[in-house]
Amino acid sequence: MIQMICSDLDGTLLQYGKKNLEGEIFDQIRALSARGILFCPASGRQYTSLRKLFAPVADQCAYLCENGAVLYRGGKVIDKTPMPRDLAEAIAWDMWNGSDGKGEVMLSGENTSYLMERGRGMLDRIRFIGNNYTCITDPAQIPEDIVKVSVYLGEGVGPYVERFVPRWKQANAAVAGPFWIDTTLANKGTGIRMLCKAFGFDPGNVMAFGDNYNDVAMLDLVGHPYIMDGAAQELRQRYPNHTPRPEEVLRRLLQDEPLNS
């Protein structure tokens, strides 16, 4: 019995470069809700951006935001995992100073992005996805808890993965797409655990879709994990269930067809 369905956004439900969701997903979310199945976007994005994307069904969803660091339901925060302030600021300065002038840093609060930008594309990207944001020059200027620190590398994360990911393993550093490396104390797996506790769900009855390394904790936890066909080979080998789009699996689920890929 499926109780909840969680889906990554960028590269999974929302293909890279697209701004808006298209097709049947809204009808599928309504049909799932009618069956008592909760749909939950699971993303590194903030709540404001996610709610805009899912506007036609916004009140029928829960939201796993900031890679699991902030959870929303009914317009309210139901759980949050702040980072120690000293750790968050140390990561931010390391990413700023250690990215050869190519990296820009985003620090995330509960529903605001704080941008240390140097004109290399991050500001355009944040405007594109619709985040609440403000620009800063020092993390000490942030007036609230910091839940995530990310570096944006507009020329690609490749040269910087080994520089930042092992160094900040204590903060779950992970590649979050072609241009981002994220750090949080939470991850999508801990986010799903907190959602399951809040709603009385069994993780074994959760289905999840992902495409990148920051989805691993989520996919390893749930009973029904799916990886996108376009994911890295290592991830495709790790998970036996593959699909080009979550909608194809949801269509089979709603038609009571076998779900084996």
- Annotate 204-245 with DSSP letters as a single string: GGEEEEE-SGGGHHHHHHSSEEEEETTS-HHHHHH-S-EES-
Do the bridges between strand 70-73 and strand 62-65 make them parallel or antiparallel, or are there none, so unpaired?
Answer: antiparallel
Question: Is residue 101 located within the same domain as residue 118?
Answer: yes
In a domain, 158, yes or no: yes
Both 177 and 193 in one domain: the answer is no
Task: Choose among 196, 158, 253: nearest CA to 42.
Answer: 196
DSSP 105: E
Which residue, of 183, 201, 226, is where some domain finishes? 183
Same domain, 173 and 115: yes
178 and 193: one domain?
Answer: no
Domain boundary among 126, 155, 183: 183
CATH, residue 135: 3.30.1240.10
E strands, the chain, in order: 4-7, 38-41, 62-65, 70-73, 76-80, 103-108, 113-116, 133-135, 148-153, 174-175, 180-183, 206-210, 224-228, 242-243
For residue 205, tell me if it sits in a domain: yes
Q: In this structure, is residue 260 part of a structural domain?
A: no
Task: Tell whether 141 is covered by a domain.
Answer: yes
Domain residues for 177?
85-183
Containing 129, the helix (H) or strand (E) segment is helix 122-129
CB 70 within 8 Å of CB 77: yes
Do strands 113-116 and 103-108 pair parallel, antiparallel, or not at all (unpaired)?
A: antiparallel
- CA nearest 28: which of 16, 18, 37, 19? 37
32 and 159, same structural domain? no
d(CA 110, CA 65): 9
Q: Could you give the count of Cα atoms lying within 13 Å of 108 in the half-sphere of its Cβ?
A: 31
99 and 41 in a single domain? The answer is no
Distances (CA, A) of 218 to 82, 138, 164: 19, 32, 22
Are 102 and 122 contacting, i.e. CB atoms less than 8 angstroms apart?
Answer: no
Final residue belonging to a domain, choices 155, 183, 211: 183
Per-residue pLDDT in tens (0 to 9) along the chain, 261 residues: 999 999 999 999 997 678 889 879 999 999 999 999 999 999 989 999 999 999 999 999 999 999 999 999 999 999 999 999 999 999 999 999 999 999 999 999 999 999 999 999 999 999 998 999 999 999 999 999 999 999 999 999 999 999 999 999 999 998 888 999 999 999 999 999 999 999 999 999 999 999 998 899 999 999 999 999 999 999 999 999 999 999 999 999 999 888 764
Residues 75 and 203 in one domain: yes
* Residue 261, pLDDT score: 47
Q: Residue 191 belongs to what H/E stretch?
A: helix 188-199
Residue 16's pLDDT is 67
β-partners of residue 70 are: 65, 80
Shared domain check, 176 and 201: no
Query: Domain tally for the chain?
Result: 2
Q: Tell me, what DSSP letter sits at residue 146?
A: -
Enter the pTM of the model. Answer: 0.88
Cβ neighbour number for residue 190 with a 10 Å cutoff: 22
CA distance 195 to 56: 22
